[in-house]
Amino acid sequence: MKRAFHLLLATMAVACGAASCAEDDSRPDFGPCEPVSCADRGHVCGTIEDGCGGLVSCGTCPDGQVCNHGTCIEPCVPSCGDQCSGESNCPGVMCADDCHLTGRTCVVADGVGTCSGECVPRTCKSIGYDCGKVNDWCGSTIDCGDCLPGSECTLGKCSAVDAVGLGVNCEYDQGACGEVFPSCMKLAGPPAFCTRECTGDGQCGTDNCCAAVKDGKHFCVPWGSEYICTNPVGNRECAIGETCLPSPVGGCLFCFEEGSLKNGQECATFDDCIAGYACVRLPGAQKPACHEICDPAVIDSCLDDGSIRHCVQQDAMGGFGVCVDGPARCSPDKVGTDCPTGFNCIPEDASCTAFKCAAAGSKPIGDTCSKHADCLKGGYCADGRCRSLCAAAAPCGEFLGCVQGCSTKIRFCDPVGGQACTPGGTADQCPEEMTCLPKSMTTCVQGECVKHGSTGAGGTCVTHRDCIAGTLCLDGNCLVTCSLEKPCALPSACVWPCSGLDLGVCLGG
């Protein structure tokens, strides 16, 4: 073996000669690099690496097809129909719950949801289309019209273009109207003007509105028209016989001719109702009806002689809403401020998970109560006393803490920390000049350290804080306290309202 190894080294030395083997750059010659073609890979679209450090474009697919790993295929377009949950016809693509967009609800059975109820077709306005054609989600296609000359329709929107000729006075010369705005329209007040039929604002040029109605069709209106209004509540901007309503096809408010139907009457079109009312189909209703228009941002918008109504925003009304019978839902962390004047936010039922605006009571904070409805606005009945609702944005005052109420969703002000105490306990529980008294003279379990007021025995009171030292507030009167070690002065007798607690009040005499 050693001999063979030495023979190999000698052979290598002869082959290299005087030059070092390390300096020999001889390699096999494979010729120039031949790039790989799209045909070699079987690709008809997309881009591939050619194997020689470059890229090769294999072309594009015809309209309506997409490139998938070099092959042109028809794309999978998710189609759910009435399905509102579960996987669609395209693998991995789930169906969303869009039933509410057509006035229906999603009913799930065997893991698959289906839209249930009468299908209300989408409109061009509801989906934000000014042009083109689109599925109405109820089995038909709606035509949203064409853009002005020079404007292009892209994804339902017309590109910006000036509306030259819109609004030209044609009162005495209908020939004044050009090809783009060929119709001469006469409304009640201003002179007749040149316009065109439309189904969306984009067809009227930049910053104009599709609104005016004639023979059931809508026409373009210049934005500066005196028929444009800003607030439909109360109908204060339109002339007698007109009503300010959101355009059903455009984005503006317009003074339309008012209808004749009154509150609660069934209606068919948006302008069937008298001024100040709108034709709206509420959730759960079989047919639309006239409802008073309101502003959700104004808390007392639907307040009428103390009737229990609330304002429900309507997407089709541009942020405005209509008044609906029944109490509004509210949030306890707003401490009653989201309820109308004279109404308070209280639990709907014993579960304490939902809250409603109900007529507020007359009892102030600290007064006795038996239910939440007894307390004034912002109050909450706890341990037989009206307490203040509280939240992070509405903290409690001095000596009080914000504690949980009947659920984690509601909190109220209560003596906590150094101001909480146990009635009948040691005398040093409270700071100097304060006395431990029961928060509720019914349960007498929890106590609060009270800094006494100036009302003497026999005077009227609302809370213990109103009474002088040595007295407490019971049934609206300051009464002298007594115990086994501190009897009442004759002829008064010591009465113990708290069972098991050596704390009473002097009555009689």
Phi first, then psi: give them for residue 12, nearest 5 degrees.
-65, -40
- Give me the percent of the chain exceeding a pLDDT of 90: 36
The alpha carbon of residue 113 and the mean position of all alpha carbons in its chain are separated, in whole angstroms, by 24
Q: Is 297 a residue whose pLDDT tops 70?
A: yes
Phi, psi of 414 (to 5 degrees): -150, 145
Predicted pLDDT at 444: 75
Helix H or strand E segment including 109: strand 105-109
| Sign (positive or negative) of CA dihedral 315, 320, 325, 330 | positive
Q: Check if the beta carbon of residue 358 is closer than 8 Å to that of residue 346.
A: yes
**Residue 16: strand, helix, or coil:** helix
256 shares a domain with 151: yes
- Per-residue pLDDT tens for 103-120? 788 998 888 899 988 888
Which distant-in-sequence residues (6+ apart) come within 8 Å of 469 by Cβ?
433, 435, 452
Whether 267 shows a pLDDT value over 60: the answer reads yes
Mark whether 352 and 499 lie in a shared domain: no
> Are residue 247 and residue 358 in the same domain, yes or no?
no
For residue 51, which amino acid is it? G
Instruction: Report CA dihedral (383, 384, 385, 388) to the nearest 10 degrees.
Output: 50
Indicate whether 232 belongs to any domain: yes
Choose the final residue of a domain: 414, 444, 475.
414
Domain membership flag for residue 197: yes
Q: DSSP secondary structure string, 273-320?
A: BPTTEEEE--TT-SS-EEEEEE-TTSTTTT--TT--EEEEE-GGGTT-
Domain that holds residue 253: 146-297+317-325
- Better pLDDT: 387 or 24: 387
Q: Which pLDDT does position 50 carry in this prediction?
A: 87
Asked if residue 64 lies in contact with residue 85, where contact means CB atoms within 8 angstroms, the answer is no
Domain boundary among 414, 443, 461: 414
d(CA 64, CA 384): 72
Considering the domain boundaries, does residue 491 fall inside one? yes
Residues 208 and 272 in one domain: yes
- Same domain (yes/no): 244, 289: yes
- Write the DSSP symbol of residue 159: P
Is residue 389 one of the residues assigned to a domain? Answer: yes
Cβ atoms 326, 377 nearer than 8 A: no
pLDDT digits (tens, 9 = 90+) for 472-495: 888 889 999 888 888 998 888 998
Q: Answer for the pair 218, 203: CB distance below 8 angstroms, yes or no.
A: no
Number of domains in the chain: 3
Tens-digit pLDDT profile for residues 303-356? 876 577 889 888 778 789 999 988 888 999 999 888 888 899 999 998 898 999
Using the predicted structure, report yes or no on whether residue 422 has a pLDDT greater than 80. Answer: no
Phi then psi for residue 369, to 5 deg, are -150, 160
Average per-residue pLDDT for the chain? 85
Distance CA 224, CA 412 (A): 52
Interatomic CA distance for residues 61 and 278, integer angstroms: 51
Q: Are 431 and 488 in contact (CB under 8 A)?
A: no
8 A C-beta contact, residue 208 and residue 223? yes
Give the pLDDT of residue 163. 92
Dist. CA 212–CA 391, nearest whole Å: 48
Task: Record the pTM.
Answer: 0.60
**Domain-located, residue 5:** no
Let me know if residue 166 belongs to a domain: yes
pLDDT in tens, 20-45: 444 455 556 667 888 899 999 899 99
Q: Is the same domain home to 474 and 394?
A: no
pLDDT at 375: 94
User: Of 192-196, 223-227, 385-389, 422-426, which range is least confident?
Assistant: 422-426
pLDDT tier at 416, thresholds 50, 70, 90: low
- Which of 353, 382, 414 terminates a domain? The answer is 414
Give the angle 472-473-475 at the CA atoms, nearest 5°: 140
Neighbours of 78 (CB within 10 A): 14
Give pLDDT, residue 51.
87
Inside any domain, residue 409: yes
12 within a domain of the structure (yes/no) = no
